[in-house]
Structure 1
Amino acid sequence: MWKQRTAVGVLALLALAACGTEAGAGAGPGTGSGAGGGAVRTDLPVTGVRWDVDSVTVDGKRTAAPSDARVEIDSKGRATGNYGCNHFTADVRIDGETITVGPGTSTGMACEKDVQRFEAAMSRTFGGKLTAAMAKKTLTLTTEKGDSIALTAQPPAPLTGTTWTVTTLVSGTVASPLPAGAQDKARIVFGKDGSVHGSFGCNSFRGRAKVSGSTITFGRIDGTKMMCPAPRMKPERELLAILDGRTTYEIDHRTLSLTAENGKGLGASAPGTTG
């Protein structure tokens, strides 16, 4: 079903990434390489990058995107992503500054009304011939009638130096969200010096962690000993047990999975960048 992009398309894509143009003052988002702004040098490729959707502009009306809206184009000419609620895939062909999006497929989940309206606007806009304009970490795709999609490159999160917010506790193949009292409060930060610190949701902790390949071996973890509400104490004990001894880890873009040898583990996410 998916068309393979030719070598010419690959070279054109790299040229687009290296020599994008930025619209000058007063220029609209749909301007191409002939816009008033000077050439902008960037080494950011279009493929293999997660592009977070910032907004869609249709008939002059700009609509901010839901937090989950994103697009990624792989080296074989396949675009995958999320309209904000539903996932999609589509064929993509690149020729110079023109990106042609062919027919695709999407899931059919029912979403909140505001998200559904955004999805309808984006699905109509992300199709057919689009003019691509790059500047620094931003990408603007503009249709022939002037509607546009604004996107920002979202790089993968490194293990060290990132504040990982714990979102789930995992037992084998079952993942459970943290209880309401602990959500957005349990965090882990790995330092380049081998330190680790953070919060279990109520009590804070500090210790040592040695990273080797895909494994993290935790040393002694010291924490505060405050009495916390009952709903927080159980996940605190479970998190402390996970950060004990040898674990394996995996990073999928901005999501961290940490698994202990007994199959217990956690899932955590990194905050997005602002471009």
Structure 2
Amino acid sequence: MKNLFFPIALALLIGGCASPSAPLDTSKTYQVEWIGERPLIDRSHLTVTFDKDGRAHGHGGCNRWFASYQLEGQNLSFSHAGATRMACAPALMEQENRFFQALDAVQRWDLGEHGELRLWPQEGQPIKLFAGEARRTN
């Protein structure tokens, strides 16, 4: 039981700090961990950085990507993402395409119970991102 105390206390502390009314932090690079109902392929690396001027960019797992975004309170949307044109393994390309499709569908954002940034489509599961170093959650 003692071994569970620290992780549970930490989760509660982080969850308590993750107010959905806090503004979207545009000073961080976020690591994508989940796209909808699926986690990322092991060792793949997807990122999202929000610039203050309404531009977003990052790494899609294979290619660098960029898009503009509109942010009004909890509402968030992206323009269709542009990207470099490198080819990678088919599984990485499929994951990157799912990521770009998910970005196209984003309508709002919030913070989850573990401090993760969640980008929500109208229907379905969100893209889940963490600030800084990537973490795996189930």
Same fold by TM-score greater than 0.5: yes
Q: How far, CA to CA, are the matches of 2:5 and 2:60 in structure 1?
A: 31
Q: Aligned pair in 2 of structure 1 residues 264, 238: CA closer, same or farther (>3 Å)? A: farther
Q: Aligned pair 1:257/2:118, yes or no?
A: yes
Residue 244 of structure 1: SS of its match in structure 2? helix
Unaligned runs of 5+ in 1: 1-68, 70-80, 90-154
Q: Name the amino acid aligned to 1:271.
A: G
* Distance in 1 separating the partners of 2:38 and 2:61: 15
Residue aligning to 1:190: 50
CA distance in structure 1 between the aligned counterparts of 2:122 and 2:115, rounded to whole angstroms: 23
Q: Supply the AA of the counterpart residue of 1:164.
A: Y
The count of residues paired between Structure 1 and Structure 2 equals 120
C-alpha change, 1:225 and 1:269, in structure 2 (3 Å) is same
Deviation at 1:246?
Answer: 4.6
Contact 2:62 2:92 in 1 (8 A): yes
CA contact (8 A) 1:219 1:245 kept: no
Q: What's the % identity of the aligned pairs?
A: 23
Distance 1:222 1:229 in 2: 19
Q: What is residue 244 of structure 1 aligned with on the other side? A: 104
Could you tell me how far apart the structure 1 residues matched to 2:111 and 2:56 are?
Answer: 17
Hey, what does 1:201 align to over in structure 2?
A: 61
Q: SS of 2:126's equivalent?
A: strand
Equivalent position amino acid for 2:85 in 1: K
What SS does structure 2 have at the residue aligned with 1:83? Answer: helix
Structure that is richer in strand per residue: 1
> 1:218, CA displacement in angstroms?
0.9
- Give the TM-score normalised by the residue count of structure 1: 0.39
Structure 2-normalised TM-score? 0.74
Indicate the structure with greater helix content: 2
Structure number with bigger Rg: 1
1:228/1:167 Cα in 2 relative to 1: closer, same or farther (>3 Å)? same
Give how far 1:213 is off: 1.3
- Deviation of 1:169 (Å): 1.6
Distance 1:179 1:246 in 2: 21
Q: d(CA) in 2 for partners of 1:224 and 1:82?
A: 46
Q: 1:220, CA displacement in angstroms?
A: 3.1
| Aligned counterparts of 2:81 and 2:52: Cα–Cα separation in 1 | 17
CA contact (8 A) 1:195 1:206 kept: yes
Aligned match of 2:33:
167
Q: Would you say 1:178 and 2:40 are equivalent positions?
A: yes
Report the CA distance shift for 1:233/1:88 in structure 2 as closer, same or farther (over 3 A). Answer: same
Aligned pairs for 1:8-157 (under 5 A) are 83-84=6-7, 87=8
Aligned-residue Cα RMSD (Å) equals 2.7
Question: Aligned in 2, Cα 1:236/1:210: closer, same or farther, shift over 3 Å?
Answer: same
Contact 2:75 2:107 (8 Å CA) reproduced = yes
